[in-house]
């Protein structure tokens, strides 16, 4: 099944290239229509663009140099493929992505006057930062229990975003509600996948390892191992469990990141929305 692995890797690299082109098109468009927004909204869009760049480039790196963290499997025999480098790039990219969502929810909540949405926007980044800590724990020690907590926090954060967006429904222009509904459906599907597939998968791996009496690295031992050991494998059997989530993550998730550069979720929270009620800070 060597050809299958290489074809999949070729697909990832192609997607990465297209993603960079799509981000460039979004940046070009943003500059062309920059007069559309008042200064504060323009600042928001620029932040979205920069944060999206971090996510697009981080995912692109991971497409060129795929890593299966716990197993220390790589496609390319290079120090740049090491788990330590790959996880560092992933952490930076994922924090950028989380910051995009926090920024979107904060802006939408201010435009529509939602105090609960504003509170939720402040919780997004700390939740994901905590998830990254547990991810590093699993990557270094090779104990999958950290991934269980990590993916649960991602799912919880996504659920919080969906609920917060739904609470904004009455304040959104009715003509734009189908787009908001689509956004919420995508988020709900993600939450369902995380808790029906992803979290149980890592839990089953943890239970299987415990049943076998597997020993784990300490954090310091794992740090040394992750920085110096990687195993090159192009065998389909080595990668097949990672194919679905990597392919979806490096394509659909990146497209969502680029979409956030535009007018929020496709303009749902436009500042000229006649139903929007700006939130004024307390005196």
> Which band of pLDDT confidence, cut at 50, 70 and 90, is reported for residue 282?
very low
Q: Say whether pLDDT at 236 is over 60.
A: yes
Up-side HSE of residue 86: CA atoms within 13 Å toward CB?
27
- pLDDT, one tens digit per residue, over 55-98 is 999 999 999 999 999 899 999 999 999 999 999 999 999 999 99
DSSP 49-111: HHHHHHHHHHHHHHHHS-EETTTTEESS-SGGGSHHHHHHHHHHHHHHHHHHHHHHHHHHHHH
Is 282 exposed, middle or buried, given 0-12, 13-18 or 19+ CB atoms closer than 10 A? Answer: exposed
Mean pLDDT of 212-219: 94
Q: Which residues does residue 67 pair with via DSSP β-bridges, in sequence order?
A: 74
């Amino acid at each position: 099944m060597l050809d299958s692995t290489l074809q999949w890797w070729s697909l990832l690299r192609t997607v990465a290239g297209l993603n960079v082109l799509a981000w460039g098109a979004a940046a070009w468009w943003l500059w062309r229509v920059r007069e559309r927004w008042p200064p504060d909204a323009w600042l928001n869009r620029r932040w979205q663009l920069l944060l999206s760049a971090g996510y697009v480039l981080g995912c692109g790196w991971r497409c060129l140099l795929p890593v299966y963290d716990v197993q220390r499997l790589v496609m390319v025999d290079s120090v740049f493929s090491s788990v330590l480098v790959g996880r560092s790039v992933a952490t930076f990219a994922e924090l950028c992505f989380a910051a995009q969502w926090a920024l979107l929810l904060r802006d939408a909540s201010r435009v529509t006057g939602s105090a609960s949405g504003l509170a939720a926007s402040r919780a997004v980044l700390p939740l994901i930062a905590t998830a990254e800590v547990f991810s590093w724990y699993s990557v270094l020690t090779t104990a999958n229990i950290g991934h269980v907590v990590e993916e649960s926090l991602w799912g919880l954060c996504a659920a919080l975003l969906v609920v917060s967006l739904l609470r904004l429904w009455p304040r959104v222009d009715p003509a734009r509600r189908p787009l908001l509904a689509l956004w919420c459906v995508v988020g709900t599907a993600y939450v369902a996948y995380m808790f029906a597939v992803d979290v149980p998968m890592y839990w089953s791996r943890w239970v299987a390892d415990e049943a076998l009496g597997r020993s784990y690295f300490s954090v310091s031992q794992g740090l040394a191992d992750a920085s110096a050991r990687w195993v090159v494998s192009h065998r389909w059997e080595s990668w097949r469990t990672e194919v679905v989530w990597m392919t979806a993550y490096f394509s659909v998730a990146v497209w969502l990141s680029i979409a956030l550069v535009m007018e929020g979720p496709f303009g749902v929270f436009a500042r000229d929305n006649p139903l929007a009620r700006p939130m004024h800070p307390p005196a």
